[in-house]
Amino acid sequence: MKYILLILLITISIDLSAQQKQFAKDDNGNFIYYQVVDSQSLSKDTLLQRAKSFVNVVQKKTMKAESITDTSVLAKGTMIIDKTILVVGHPSGEVSYNFVFEVRKGKYRFWLTDLLFIPYQRDRYGNFVATTKIGVPLERTPGKLGAGAWKDIVNSTYTKIEKFGEDFKRYLATDRVEKAKKRTETISTKKWE
């Protein structure tokens, strides 16, 4: 009975791992996450303002705008990739990327490309820091020894980027207005009111 359950679990895990989504490749053979979204209800200017707000306000710690035109936003960013073993997790590295957003009347598109992985290691204080400043392209084919770890890195990167894309689409679809900071009221101790 134990062996039957073990074989069943292995079969299910193999089926689930085979169904994982993978990156598409662009003309140059680089991994790319590309989305075209139909947005008839919002104007071109509104979409561009929300995209600028997403880069400059929401993602200001991880993204930096490179250039902004009347129809596009180009930015560079990084995201931390976690390695989870059972319940405890720690960052295994970061992935830097180029973000491109373009808008036309009735639709917009965005993509993330030029994905470079920079591994982390613990320093003498116990903090996770980058081992180098030079990133390794995710398209690289690993050797036999590191193939499993590299596949995990690529899969977790795809999951993070897919979540990023969903958050970006949700941000552009919702009517969010950046709230002005509340002014604090001065309290007078001279009046008893």
Q: Global pTM?
A: 0.74
Beta pairing class for 128-130 and 136-137: unpaired
pLDDT score recorded for residue 73: 92
127-141: average pLDDT = 86
Residue 18: pLDDT band with limits 50, 70, 90: very low
CATH number of 21-173: 3.30.530.80
Distance CA 158, CA 9 (A): 25
Q: Measuring CA to CA, which residue among 128, 47, 53, 60 is closest to residue 90?
A: 128
- Domain edges within the chain: 21-173
pLDDT score recorded for residue 22: 85
pLDDT score recorded for residue 192: 67
